[in-house]
Structure 1
């Protein structure tokens, strides 16, 4: 990075921090901190939902995936219309009717306090890991590009995001998310334009090279459940995206900031659907990079190991783009990560206040005290997230194990919510039995190969199907047990 790139990058970081902090005057109550003042434009919420869905992982991994193989990752995005339509029809009106800042109030209404505590703890733990992972990946990327110290980058980024998200509350998070979403789209378009018009034989050469190497393939269409075929990825995408748009506090909180149900449903739908063409844009970057570098007589030494596809986009940013544009692209990568982190900070603090402090500590606390709780919990969450990111530098294997465990518990969350919405019986024993059954299924599928070997039944299913079978088990077992054990004349 030269001086111009460094200036562009820091101007962006400083500008975002100042802009987010400028909403401090609108952030004087706990209500404004968590759900705003009902004055945020719907387009801002829409872009914020999109920006929350896109992380720096997607921004780097999708081009790397397309460079290394093909467009099979787009199948995940093709599931979004199904998942978002279900969320818009059933989940958004439900949360708007309950009118709580927390998505998990519904769990207590349906199955009791245990369900609310279970899902909220799962959410908080998952968010901490998410913050840590994204901070670490951002630092790793900038370290590779600029050579700066990883731990320093982690602390700097975490503190910057924590400060502006605390000062401005949900309003700052939404507005900065919207801006960062626009920046990352502009950055992607700039990159594609540069590659298209840098080809020796013109823009069409990229398409010719890609077609010759089957780079636009969506993967296999057979019904083999042990491989990530088109159908396996599609079904997996429906369940994961339904979990995102249906029960994730990061999204549910956004549904609550708008004035009407119609606006909330529209923002949820469009915010989800925007990712479909943008993910195609990211994948095209990878395909264009493949054509760009294969049009040369020799592939750069750093890219000859095609198995390390995630390196190709950062390599291109540093070595091919003009000065200033490189700084803009690095800012785009940070935009994707910072938007996700700021959301996690605010939403996690909201869950702690709503699901724990207001219920189990002081139910009639003053609003000043609630604001203090939001600030303190935000600080604690940011410190823990930064600590986890730093731990990832040397202890990645232990954290990989935690990711497996977190997927086990988060898989149970979706099943419980579906049971709560579509089951007409209010039976705590049925819900608990279903949850246990689902977790056992997820555990079996996750560790079957390790314990029983590659020829075991559980090992014959691809890991993408773990959440699918686990969620179905929770719903079906919970539903059946609830009917069998249903007390007379009991219903929702």
Structure 2
């Protein structure tokens, strides 16, 4: 596979330098911790909406979604269709709630509601989720740039990570938001350019693409049968609703942005702007994946190198060429879907344009990682360090701690990305990890908001029950063969659904039983 020419590499270098200079520009405005974490509440709603949109539109979308559509169908698009309902709940209940509390952390109120353990538990869930998110994005972008530049995945992650750390540490949340505004526009234009280039090279154009997609079932949203053991329409719909509810209602990346808005109304509008932009944008990436599938169905010889590469990775280094070819011939599209987009870019996009598109993919990765770094540093500072270690930090000390933790978050994200090398599907890995880590956090939050009678003991008992259920669903292999009938039969995307409902309903039931017992004791 050929690598990018010097001109394209220069464009990428200029883009990375521009992001660093942006951080330097905003560094002069960070006079205190409030400016670093809240931007003093002076960001317009439209900019926050574009920022949230850019965070959603990560490299997992840019690379993982086309790979998923190439390897299967549009089933994962149902995730996006669930966003409007989650956004309605968030704008009506969550945004006003957080704006009223005034707390920069999304988890401070959990301590007021259930005690210190609840706050700490939610923070741990959030930090693990961020680690998984940043790791999957580092891995995704490295997978792409390895094919495009010839550098190792580790080298790509370290180089990109250093640039992200610099502009995030220097610029704070304001730099994150305004760079994401630019990145949101850049990545959308990059996707449109890729779509145009594929269609322009496709014999028969759009009609032929649709014909192949319908013939091979590539445009399906999944089965409508009430089956929760496979990735049906309903499984992804429920998964999407709960994950998006967690994103808009519990994820510090988004809660922190609500505080940067000039008013609650502007904060609510930012949520809806994100939805209005993301739903059609995500559809665009599924269309790209289907177009790539049709293109390589017409030109199968152009993708033989990818199949050989994947086959070689699965076999020992000493494997003969004949064995590699045999394995390559048996591979299915799902086995190499994540590699298709980078392959098309390096082999079919003219010099100059490839550099711009890679910059768009970089922006998709950098916006989400920088958000995760800033949010993780803020949460650890407010909910762990100031709560348990040194509550008397002055503003200067807080700023130093925020800088240090932002760097640490970036380094840990790089480490997680390196650990993910070899994962088959970026999107599948991220969905599974986020569902596991977010389930307990969302269930506890809903219990605290909806049930006014649930107390500390009831919530703690419900969380313990929920964790046991999540572990049972996540690790079915823990049960021996003679207990196989007790293993989780549901699809892995149902973990967040069942885990969240278990904690919430268990809390409600325990609270009601306790209330009933109290009433009976009084009557007797």
TM-score by shorter chain over 0.5 = yes
Is contact 2:126-2:437 (8 Å) kept? no
Name 2:235's counterpart in structure 1. Answer: 232
Is contact 2:51-2:178 (8 Å) kept? yes
Name 1:430's counterpart in structure 2. Answer: 458
SS in 1 for 2:151: coil
Is contact 1:24-1:167 (8 Å) kept? yes
Name 1:357's counterpart in structure 2. Answer: 385
Q: Which region of structure 1 is more displaced relative to structure 2, 168-177 or 205-214?
A: 205-214
Name 2:83's counterpart in structure 1. Answer: 80
Is contact 1:43-1:267 (8 Å) kept? yes
Name 2:317's counterpart in structure 1. Answer: none
Does residue 374 of the first structure (1) align with residue 402 of the second (2)? yes
> Structure 2 vs 1, CA of residues 297 and 456 (structure 1 numbering), >3 Å: closer, same or farther?
closer
Distance 1:401 1:318 in 2: 25
Name 1:62's counterpart in structure 2. Answer: 65
Distance 1:402 1:330 in 2: 22
Q: Which string of whole-angstrom CA distances, capped at 9 and with x for unpartnered residues, describes residues 89-140 of structure 1? A: 1111111111111000111111111101111122123323332332233223
Distance 2:391 2:476 in 1: 45
Distance 1:24 1:375 in 2: 11
Query: Which residue, out of 179, 184, 194, partners 2:182?
Result: 179
Q: Which region of structure 1 is more displaced relative to structure 2, 460-469 or 181-190?
A: 460-469
> Structure 2 vs 1, CA of residues 393 and 287 (structure 1 numbering), >3 Å: closer, same or farther?
closer
Q: CA deviation at 1:388?
A: 3.3
Name 1:459's counterpart in structure 2. Answer: 488
Is contact 1:155-1:386 (8 Å) kept? yes
TM-score (norm 2): 0.87
> Structure 2 vs 1, CA of residues 92 and 338 (structure 1 numbering), >3 Å: closer, same or farther?
same
Q: CA deviation at 1:67?
A: 1.5
Does residue 343 of the first structure (1) align with residue 371 of the second (2)? yes
Distance 1:201 1:336 in 2: 31
Is contact 1:49-1:272 (8 Å) kept? no
Does residue 246 of the first structure (1) align with residue 255 of the second (2)? no
Does residue 478 of the first structure (1) align with residue 507 of the second (2)? yes
Regions of 4+ moved over 4 Å? 391-396, 400-407, 452-455, 486-489
Q: CA deviation at 1:76?
A: 1.1
Distance 1:392 1:198 in 2: 34
Q: Which string of whole-angstrom CA distances, capped at 9 and with x for unpartnered residues, describes residues 436-482 of structure 1? A: 11111112222235525595254321111111111111011111212
Does residue 328 of the first structure (1) align with residue 356 of the second (2)? yes
Is contact 2:125-2:440 (8 Å) kept? no
Q: How many residues align?
A: 486
Distance 2:304 2:367 in 1: 34
Q: Which runs of 5+ in 2 are unaligned?
A: 308-330, 520-524
Does residue 167 of the first structure (1) align with residue 195 of the second (2)? no
Name 1:43's counterpart in structure 2. Answer: 46
Q: Which region of structure 1 is more displaced relative to structure 2, 223-232 or 137-146?
A: 137-146
Q: Which runs of 5+ in 1 are unaligned?
A: none
Name 2:110's counterpart in structure 1. Answer: 107
Distance 1:139 1:81 in 2: 32
Does residue 147 of the first structure (1) align with residue 150 of the second (2)? yes
Distance 2:64 2:186 in 1: 18
Q: CA deviation at 1:375?
A: 1.1
Is contact 1:409-1:439 (8 Å) kept? no
Query: Which residue, out of 71, 74, 78, partners 1:71?
Result: 74
Q: Which region of structure 1 is more displaced relative to structure 2, 327-336 or 416-425?
A: 327-336
TM-score (norm 1): 0.93
Distance 2:498 2:165 in 1: 37
Q: CA deviation at 1:382?
A: 2.2
Distance 1:322 1:347 in 2: 38
Name 2:473's counterpart in structure 1. Answer: 445
